[in-house]
Structure 1
Amino acid sequence: MRVVNRSLRWEIEDQMKLHRFNMHQLAELTGINQGNLSMALNGISRSFTISQLDALGKVFGKVPGWLYELYTEECISEEKVSRPRLIPYLVRCAEVGRNDCIDAVIPKILDNPKNVQIIFAAAEKLFNKGKEKESERLYELVVENVKDSFSEMLATSHYRLFAVTQGTDAEKNWKAVIRFDPFRNRLPESYRLDALYQLARACYSLKKWSEVEEYAGELVELSTVVSGDEVVALKKHPVYYYGKGLLYLGSVLERRGLYEQSKKYVRSYADLEWPEPLNESGQKEVEQFKIWGKANFYTLEVLTGNEGIINEYSDYLASLNKLNDIVAGLIAIVSSANTHGFNVDHVLARFSGSIERFDIFNKHLILSDRHLQYRYHKAIYEFRNGRIQEGLDEKLRFLTLANDMKKYEDGFQCVLSFETYQERASARQLKTYRSTMRVKEEEI
């Protein structure tokens, strides 16, 4: 009998004696078949599954991960590696934070390079259980150990890592885009659409307009050719990705000030046409694009200087009653007010309650960028209307957000603007400014 089996048996039998459990009682308490439990403890068959070991630990009052360091030899013998035991073992080690056990077993798994598939399978199980952060380390191991650059397993691992690392740190997000980009066309077709969408989304928040245009164009093209099983495997109906591609293409033109050209794309996704009959989920997506299309028509009209439509647009935003739509609408309204000399104090007063809640966006990729944009345009609006103290407050909010998102270029522009009015800043504002700048210097 192997030493590790005796060690496991000794530990479990010791706990049985301590708690005064007999075999029947322990089987009842753990839900493990009494015959299987007896054979495992007597070394007649391979020992416990990891879930059975967890059940035993729970009955004995042990913390999750109890005896995991002794379980490795239940998964790997001199003869072979047990995939059915290793995958759940790696998953549980990651879930309970037993990284020491992962460190110990990985070199043994990788004695045969083909066994990297086991690590990948465990990472996928974690990811699909919503344990994205726990899966990150295992995907990194796959990336480090797969040598075939055209491997779908490698491309999928890069895709997962890209998804896991997306946050409000602009610098980190851009590095993730650069790292993942070469693998986007090597993914299984069922992942490619979502990958392109996520790339376009990330680059939009980073103001990388050429990249957004590239990914959105690919998104439109690819979404029209997927079929069969690929459609079933998609996160969303293909019409969603098609519409998103058109939306991003239109948004890039809007950001470049090409409003009339942007309207052509808005018309396309506001009245989406699809070559095949749509199921219920597809129809819901089409209806959502109609809502976005209407909102973006208002946006473009406001940006072109149509002051007469602002109250109507405000009514529409209020009817939607969605904070992310409100911040997007206010960016357009305040930006246009700065460009064309409108007074929109009544609009800002109307949505003051919503504006007070914009801080909840600060942990979300796209929405934190919208919040940043709003503070930028609002500061200019306050300065333009002679409200210097209010403008400086907005600049301080902007600078804090830019620092948190590591958008240092935006932060630098804010510093220059703040210092223009520094002599008129209050003692409180100067204290906040200096404190924020110290934090920024430490981070850089």
Structure 2
Amino acid sequence: MVSLNHATTIRTELESFIEREALSFSQLGRLAGLNAGTVSSIMKGNRIMAVDQLDRMTAVLGHDQGHFYEQYIQECMVEAVPNWRRVKPFLYRCAELDKLNCIKQILPLLLDNLTYSPLLFEVAEDFFTEGKHAAAALLYESVALSERRQHSERLAFCQYRLFTLRLSDNQEDNLQCALQFEPFVDRLDEIDQLDALRDLANTYRSLRRWDKVERIAEEMGRLAEIQLAAPSQPSRAREESCKKPKKPLFVYLAFSYLLRGSVCNARGDHEQELQYTYAYQDLSWVKETDEETLHWLTLYKGWAEANMYVSKLMRGDESVLADYVAYIEQNKDELLVGLLNITEAANLFDLNVDHILQFFDSEINGYMQIRHQEAVGVYTKQVVSEQHARFLYGVAHYYLRQGLYLMGFEYLLASLSTSSLINNETRILTCVRLFEKYRALASQETQNRYQNLLKEEEEEHEKKIGIPVGRS
């Protein structure tokens, strides 16, 4: 492969190839699938190549796709005025070939000109839709930077997209993402606000930041009520008809009630939790009968049934266990959170749930093997990951209290490992406190594994804050 130096241009590469192969412009054109006039203009310097023409020439020269892209940026975008008709298709090709460094080189050339912001935003939206998320993030960051003083809706929407793209397994990073995005929510239009508030609430829910969840749920409910009343105003209905939320409007109001019920559950206020449960159980006021509406009505009816069991269970009423187990057996998306609720109630009220843990033994063993969680049903990846770590801890606590130390420590180390993987510092400390309480009953092998996990956690933390690992 020929390497380019500062004196070499794409055209001189082509000239060398023509001379070496004794080709005419017409013959080169036939090889590249271009007409002779186009080749002649390019070779005489009268025309700047489009990216498609560059790709064709690159193939003729026998180089890998994108071989000349860095040089192309230098010659056609740095040394010449950037032309959007060339820049746009070049961005798409860079995203297709995953040449993110080339995209990074182009964007600073466009930042000073605000006319590029809406154009870049449109391309970013295309990349987002196509699943080219890393490329999309670069463009959203560029648009947000160029519009940082504009306080525009587009700036807010870029921040929304970046928030969703930056969410990861790392809960501490997710907290920072949520805190950075939150001030931009009210700059979005009301329809986008509903989805943004839902995503933000789910993130804070996975972090168990109940104060945040409560406030966001209340705001989402307020906006949903406004939108539900809007169809009675014909002009407003026409205005909003071109933009719809991702889910039926009633879902956002019902979800706000569900979230507020979760807040009450976490605070131990089960009477108020029941009131919110009744609110999303009775959705008889929803008149639509389309398939999507019926789907969500069925889900909320099921969740209301389940959460009524949970509310009673968390007050020590074990008479609902059989019905609750039957529910989670039939609704596999609810299995993890169901077993979590059961083990937490068992630890809180000293209930014996051995028969339930044995019944779901294969599923629970599966949870022991999983390292990286995925979204399940309506539960986001972040929510499921937090539930997973907390469930393993709950089972560990249950077995340790019963004197089944071998099993208890296995689940406790699994919870510690999972909590470390998602950087859930609160859960890590909870695991450490429980292990130290029972440390004297742990085998030497278990204690060694525990120390190794703590060492790995410490090294990860030191890497994050920039302290060299293995320092003296």
**TM-score normalised to structure 2 length:** 0.82
Cα offset, 1:259, TM superposition: 1.6
1:335 partnered with 2:336: no
2:365 corresponds to which residue? 356
Pairwise CA RMSD of aligned residues?
3.0
Residue by residue, what CA displacement relative to the aligned partner does 1:174-228 show, whole Å, maximum 9, x if unpaired?
A: 1111100110011133321111001000000111101101111111222233455
**1:25-424 equivalent positions in 2, closer than 5 A:** 34=35, 37-38=38-39, 41=42, 46-58=47-59, 61-72=62-73, 73-74=75-76, 81-226=82-227, 227=237, 229=240, 232-274=243-285, 277-320=288-331, 322=332, 324-358=333-367, 359=370, 362=373, 364-424=381-441
Bigger mean CA offset, 424-433 vs 267-276 = 267-276
- State the one-letter code of the partner of 2:194: L
- Decide whether the 8 Å contact of 1:120 with 1:139 is kept in 2: yes
In the alignment, the residues of structure 1 paired with residue 365 and residue 27 of structure 2 have an alpha-carbon distance, to the nearest angstrom, of: 59
- Decide whether the 8 Å contact of 1:167 with 1:365 is kept in 2: yes
Bigger mean CA offset, 260-269 vs 231-240 = 231-240
- Decide whether the 8 Å contact of 2:412 with 2:431 is kept in 1: yes
Bigger mean CA offset, 375-384 vs 100-109 = 100-109
In the alignment, the residues of structure 1 paired with residue 449 and residue 273 of structure 2 have an alpha-carbon distance, to the nearest angstrom, of: 40
Cα offset, 1:332, TM superposition: 1.2
Residue by residue, what CA displacement relative to the aligned partner does 1:364-400 show, whole Å, maximum 9, x if unpaired?
A: 3111111111112212211221212222222211211
- Decide whether the 8 Å contact of 1:57 with 1:63 is kept in 2: yes
> In the superposition, relative to structure 1, how do residues 24 and 429 fare at CA in structure 2: closer, same or farther (>3 Å)?
farther
Cα offset, 1:141, TM superposition: 2.5
> In the superposition, relative to structure 1, how do residues 82 and 393 fare at CA in structure 2: closer, same or farther (>3 Å)?
same
> In the superposition, relative to structure 1, how do residues 93 and 274 fare at CA in structure 2: closer, same or farther (>3 Å)?
farther
In the alignment, the residues of structure 1 paired with residue 40 and residue 126 of structure 2 have an alpha-carbon distance, to the nearest angstrom, of: 30
In the alignment, the residues of structure 2 paired with residue 283 and residue 62 of structure 1 have an alpha-carbon distance, to the nearest angstrom, of: 56
- Decide whether the 8 Å contact of 1:95 with 1:134 is kept in 2: no
In the alignment, the residues of structure 1 paired with residue 122 and residue 430 of structure 2 have an alpha-carbon distance, to the nearest angstrom, of: 46
In the alignment, the residues of structure 2 paired with residue 173 and residue 310 of structure 1 have an alpha-carbon distance, to the nearest angstrom, of: 35
Residue by residue, what CA displacement relative to the aligned partner does 1:235-273 show, whole Å, maximum 9, x if unpaired?
A: 222233222222111111111111222122222223324
In the alignment, the residues of structure 1 paired with residue 414 and residue 98 of structure 2 have an alpha-carbon distance, to the nearest angstrom, of: 37
Q: Secondary structure at the match of 1:357?
A: helix
In the alignment, the residues of structure 1 paired with residue 275 and residue 92 of structure 2 have an alpha-carbon distance, to the nearest angstrom, of: 49
Bigger mean CA offset, 403-412 vs 169-178 = 403-412
Residue by residue, what CA displacement relative to the aligned partner does 1:322-347 show, whole Å, maximum 9, x if unpaired?
A: 2x411111111111112222211111
- State the one-letter code of the partner of 1:372: A
Cα offset, 1:33, TM superposition: 6.1
- Decide whether the 8 Å contact of 1:87 with 1:121 is kept in 2: no
In the alignment, the residues of structure 2 paired with residue 11 and residue 274 of structure 1 have an alpha-carbon distance, to the nearest angstrom, of: 72
> In the superposition, relative to structure 1, how do residues 342 and 104 fare at CA in structure 2: closer, same or farther (>3 Å)?
closer
- State the one-letter code of the partner of 2:355: H
Q: Secondary structure at the match of 1:399?
A: helix
> In the superposition, relative to structure 1, how do residues 51 and 316 fare at CA in structure 2: closer, same or farther (>3 Å)?
farther
- State the one-letter code of the partner of 1:332: N
Q: Secondary structure at the match of 1:362?
A: coil
- State the one-letter code of the partner of 1:209: W
In the alignment, the residues of structure 1 paired with residue 303 and residue 24 of structure 2 have an alpha-carbon distance, to the nearest angstrom, of: 66
Cα offset, 1:82, TM superposition: 2.4
Cα offset, 1:230, TM superposition: 5.8
- State the one-letter code of the partner of 1:268: A
In the alignment, the residues of structure 2 paired with residue 281 and residue 18 of structure 1 have an alpha-carbon distance, to the nearest angstrom, of: 65
Q: Secondary structure at the match of 1:112?
A: coil
- Decide whether the 8 Å contact of 1:126 with 1:132 is kept in 2: yes
- Decide whether the 8 Å contact of 2:26 with 2:39 is kept in 1: no
In the alignment, the residues of structure 2 paired with residue 241 and residue 313 of structure 1 have an alpha-carbon distance, to the nearest angstrom, of: 26
**TM-score normalised to structure 1 length:** 0.87
- Decide whether the 8 Å contact of 1:76 with 1:82 is kept in 2: no
> In the superposition, relative to structure 1, how do residues 360 and 415 fare at CA in structure 2: closer, same or farther (>3 Å)?
closer
Bigger mean CA offset, 430-439 vs 289-298 = 289-298
Q: Secondary structure at the match of 1:412?
A: helix
> In the superposition, relative to structure 1, how do residues 422 and 14 fare at CA in structure 2: closer, same or farther (>3 Å)?
same
- Decide whether the 8 Å contact of 2:58 with 2:64 is kept in 1: yes
In the alignment, the residues of structure 1 paired with residue 328 and residue 52 of structure 2 have an alpha-carbon distance, to the nearest angstrom, of: 51
- Decide whether the 8 Å contact of 2:111 with 2:142 is kept in 1: no
Cα offset, 1:157, TM superposition: 1.4
- Count of matched residue pairs: 436
In the alignment, the residues of structure 2 paired with residue 346 and residue 151 of structure 1 have an alpha-carbon distance, to the nearest angstrom, of: 57
Q: Secondary structure at the match of 1:235?
A: coil
Residue by residue, what CA displacement relative to the aligned partner does 1:341-363 show, whole Å, maximum 9, x if unpaired?
A: 22111111111111122226535
Gaps of 5+ in 1: none
Cα offset, 1:171, TM superposition: 0.8
Q: Secondary structure at the match of 1:436?
A: helix
In the alignment, the residues of structure 1 paired with residue 292 and residue 55 of structure 2 have an alpha-carbon distance, to the nearest angstrom, of: 40
> In the superposition, relative to structure 1, how do residues 246 and 60 fare at CA in structure 2: closer, same or farther (>3 Å)?
farther
In the alignment, the residues of structure 1 paired with residue 209 and residue 36 of structure 2 have an alpha-carbon distance, to the nearest angstrom, of: 63
